[in-house]
Structure 1
Amino acid sequence: MALRLYQKLRHPFVPPSNLSIKATPTRRFSVHNSIAMPQSEHSRKLVLEVKERLEKEYPSLPIGKNGRDDEDMILWFLKDRRFSIEDAVAKLTKAIKWRQEFKVSELSEESVKNVAQTGKCYVHDFLDVNDRPVIIVVASKHFPGMQDPVEDEKLGVFLIEKALGKLPAGKEELLGIFDLRGFGTKNADIKFLAFLFELCYYYYPKRLGQVLFVEAPFVFQPIWQLAKPMMKSYASLVRFCSVDIVRKEYFTEATLPACFRD
């Protein structure tokens, strides 16, 4: 297998230059048929249309925060689907059903305590220089053959929810950092990586502003080649970088994560 060919290699992996992104891309949303009315009024009209569709076609879906009548959530998914009512209804329905089945509202610090104690994934105490909450994944502490994948998934969802709760007013995106120092084939987990990006694509669209792969070793190259197609459009958000870049471009001395101070 390809992974075995790289098992004994430990030289830094330098990806093609076109994989490096130095700034979070700016997204623009197009609103169709909005010439006759202000955008805010048009958006409000579309939100109500989606809300009515969900109530009529999916009355069994829960209501309240992150439910079928949550107008902020509806507007976010409308933006994600470029204000297409049909597409927004389809994606919202999928997301709300998933939240219900996964029991997202029941996740807590206590429920994920055991897996969180491994230190392999956590929300940083401080925001980055762009005022984004930060989720840090320490790849060398992840052992897919020894740890429960269901518990890993619960931790991932809980941390995304926790990070979103730290968003400052007017801010919308998160920063994801994968610390790949010490990464080896024993830590490789394509399935879990695909799960994380599926979360971001289907259930938390456009919340992930950028992903940093820090100090990726050469052994990570085949993992990246397998993972990249699964990441869909999120692959363009990935930046391979060094610890020094993290220190200089993403944090201040006071807010730098402890793992990047040494």
Structure 2
Amino acid sequence: MAFSAALGKSCHSTLLRRSSLQKTFKQASAKHLSRPVVPRLDRRIHSKQATATAPPASLAIPPWTDSEDQKQALRQLQDKMNKCAYGQPDEDTLKWFLRDRKLDADEAADKLTNMLKWRQDFQADSITWGMVAKEADTGKAYLHEHKDVNGQPVIVIRSSLHKTGEFSLDDSKRLCILILEKALKQLPEGQDTVLGVFDLKGFKQKNGDLGFAGFLRDIFFTYYPKRLGQVLFIDAPWIFQPSWNLFKPLLGKYAGLVAFVSREQLRDNYFTPETVPADFKQD
């Protein structure tokens, strides 16, 4: 299948209603704007020792070692997916979803079926760069040419360039899928995840798109599970706090993947001077 190379190296989803969430975000932002005291943001990273490390142990995905338990689970999952009406994943994809579900073949089959149905409904295999060229040309999101110090492909999102409603939500989803699958195809041997870097410098209320944020939650936790190794929020202004407060509970334990860092911390702990993205070379 066309998607297998990306997914293989790549539960019911919670769908967010864009309009109502945007209204909630505006109300929350207005509330914070009226406060004379700047609220403190979560700051999880303070030193090199705390950064550029593996995800929390509870979120780490176990390796595939070809153990007897793994082989048995794989056979069970293959039998279940042979009856799937939405397509047949390749073996690497089957193994990844088993690793995600801790070798529970029933849970892996359910999650795979949901993913395959979504790909069919959204026509994910038919997306082309020409369909999203105008939005891509804004430079709001791109795959960095260099990997981080851990060998992870790096996706950079310039939040101040994303204006809610400027492009359709579906087109923004298509651009996200293309960039992510391009990143997954560049995974080096022994690396399973990508790094997401959100540049929040200059973030304003108009940039807070919780409808798209909800899609990001689904794509990384349901359609491409555990492919996101860590999320870095760079130079988040205090006005970002309302949207984070709304979205954080939806992440549950996966909020542990998020770290608030400065440009200096990003340079010092995630890249070499030669590989740091140009947007972050200076404060």
Instruction: Report the TM-score, using the length of structure 2 for normalisation.
Output: 0.81
Aligned partner of 2:148 among 128, 147, 163: 128
Aligned to 1:73: 93
- Comparing 136-145 and 99-108, the one that deviates more: 99-108
CA contact (8 A) 2:127 2:178 kept: yes
Give deviations 1:6-51, integer Å, cap 9, x for gaps.
Answer: 45889986424558763332426499xxxxxx85233122212211
Aligned partner of 2:187 among 154, 167, 177: 167
Q: Does 1:259 align with 2:276?
A: no
* SS of corresponding position for 2:172: helix
Aligned partner of 1:47 among 69, 74, 79: 74
In the alignment, structure 1 segments of 5+ residues that lack a partner are 32-37
CA contact (8 A) 2:61 2:226 kept: no
Q: How does 1:80-119 map to 2 (within 5 A)?
A: 80-119=100-139
Aligned to 2:87: 62
Amino acid at match of 2:79: E
Give deviations 1:140-190, integer Å, cap 9, x for gaps.
Answer: 000113221111111111111111011001110110010000000011111
* SS of corresponding position for 1:231: helix
Give deviations 1:106-152, integer Å, cap 9, x for gaps.
Answer: 22322221110111111111100100001111000001132211111
Q: Percent same amino acid among aligned pairs?
A: 37
Aligned partner of 1:198 among 205, 208, 218: 218
CA contact (8 A) 2:61 2:99 kept: no
* SS of corresponding position for 1:211: strand
Q: Does 1:4 align with 2:35?
A: no
More helix by share: 2
In the alignment, structure 2 segments of 5+ residues that lack a partner are 1-26
Amino acid at match of 2:87: P
Aligned partner of 2:261 among 232, 238, 241: 241
Q: Distance in 1 between matches of 2:264 and 2:45?
A: 18
Q: Which has the higher contact order (CA 8 A, sep 6+)?
A: 2
Give deviations 1:183-220, integer Å, cap 9, x for gaps.
Answer: 00011111111111110000111110000000000001
CA contact (8 A) 1:10 1:218 kept: no
Count residues with an aligned counterpart: 249
Q: Distance in 2 between matches of 1:197 and 1:187?
A: 17
